[in-house]
Structure 1
Amino acid sequence: MKIAVVAANGRVARKVITEAIKRGHDVAAFGRHEENNTDASNYIIKDILDLTKEDLVGYDVVVDAFGTWASETMHLHTDTSQHLADLLENTNTRLLIVGGAGSLYTNKEHTETVSSGPDFPHDWLPVANAMADALNKLRKRNDVHWTYLSPAANFVADGEASGKYTFANEEFTLNRNNESSISYADYASAMLDVIESGKHDQERISVFQD
């Protein structure tokens, strides 16, 4: 497949790009910085919000790996994902979002989330809320083939690629060791599994390490 990855120089994005290339896909990396820190030979310097419909023509999948922790830019989680959705509306190109774990539900009624729990770190609330807002905006769209993939609560940047991970639905799920963790490397592999499967259209799912 032809896969475009935006915000390509981010740490998760780089793992996704490496995994996609390893699996033989044709990958283009879009980044706003001049340096290409990815394994993609096709690197396009362009900010997400400057992308046009023409930039994304011909791709089977667009992976949105945008993320920010700066308080003044939290709105960009929604702005960027909605901009990409606008560019891809009424096309067959799929939009895969690198999501967050804070919005995973902790009860069957789906009224409580990880981020609304008493033990959730206060400093993480702004980004969790911003990513939840972006997800809620996506849920209102039936004109885009979007999929939102939430990682486990402990998202480990330098963890190994174990290949041992399990998909779950929108409810926060612990593994057999009563833990919620996944490495960036395993998450990237899971993202490619979702891309290659063609499943979970207009759904949010999650993944955790066994």
Structure 2
Amino acid sequence: MKIAVVAANGRVARKVIAEALSRGHEVAAFGRHAENNTQAKDYRQKDILDLTKEDLAGFDAVVDAFGAWTEETLPLHSTTTQHLADILSGTDTPLLIVGGAGSLYVDPEHKVQLFNTPDFPDAYKPLATAMGKALAELRKRTDVKWTYISPAADFQADGERTDKYILAGEEFTLNSNNESVISYADYAIAMVDEFEKGHHIQQRISVVRA
């Protein structure tokens, strides 16, 4: 498969690229900086908001690994997601998004999200709210083959690769050890599995260490 990874120099993106390459996929990495910090040999310097239909034409899947953390840039989660959705509108190219855990539901009725619970850290609420808004706006799109993949609450950059994960849905899920944890490496495995299989079009899924 021919895969485009956008915002490719981020840590999650680099893990996804490495996993895809290890399986023999062809990867084009798009980043706004001149330096290529990924394993992809095909690196294209271009800001996410400058990408065009022509840039992403011919790919079998597009992975959006964009991240922003400051108060000024948090709205870009919505802006960038919608920009990529507009580019891929009406095409057969899936858009897979590296999401957040804060928007997962903690009740079967899907009325209460994790970031609205009392124990959710205040420091992460702005980011979780912004990412939740981006997901809510994405749900309105029926013209794009999107899949939103939320990690576990404890998303570990340097966590162990176990090659095992639990695939869950909209609800906050704990493993047999009563933990919500996953490493970037295992998340990348789940991401590549998803664009290879494509079973969750226009759905949000979540992953946690088995």
TM-score by length of 1: 0.99
Gaps of 5+ in 2: none
| Counterpart residue number, 1:31 | 31
Q: Percent identity?
A: 67
Residue-by-residue CA offset, 1:55-110 (whole Å, 9 max, x unaligned):
01100100000011111001100000100000000000110000000000000010
Gaps of 5+ in 1: none
Q: Say which SS state the counterpart of residue 108 (structure 1) adopts.
A: coil
Letter in structure 2 aligned against 1:43 = Y
Paired with 2:31 and 2:198, the residues of 1 have a C-alpha distance of 25
Aligned: 1:188 with 2:188: yes
Letter in structure 1 aligned against 2:62 = V
**1:136-175 → structure 2 map (5 Å cutoff):** 136-175=136-175
Residue-by-residue CA offset, 1:136-195 (whole Å, 9 max, x unaligned):
011000000000000000000001211121100100010011000000000000001111
Paired with 1:38 and 1:3, the residues of 2 have a C-alpha distance of 14
| Counterpart residue number, 2:22 | 22
Letter in structure 2 aligned against 1:191 = M
| Counterpart residue number, 2:177 | 177
Paired with 2:113 and 2:141, the residues of 1 have a C-alpha distance of 22
Paired with 1:66 and 1:125, the residues of 2 have a C-alpha distance of 18
Letter in structure 1 aligned against 2:46 = K
Letter in structure 1 aligned against 2:52 = T
Runs of 4+ in 1 over 2 A off after TM superposition: none
**1:1-210 → structure 2 map (5 Å cutoff):** 1-210=1-210
Paired with 2:199 and 2:9, the residues of 1 have a C-alpha distance of 27
RMSD value over aligned CA atoms? Answer: 0.5
Paired with 1:56 and 1:194, the residues of 2 have a C-alpha distance of 19
Q: Say which SS state the counterpart of residue 130 (structure 2) adopts.
A: helix
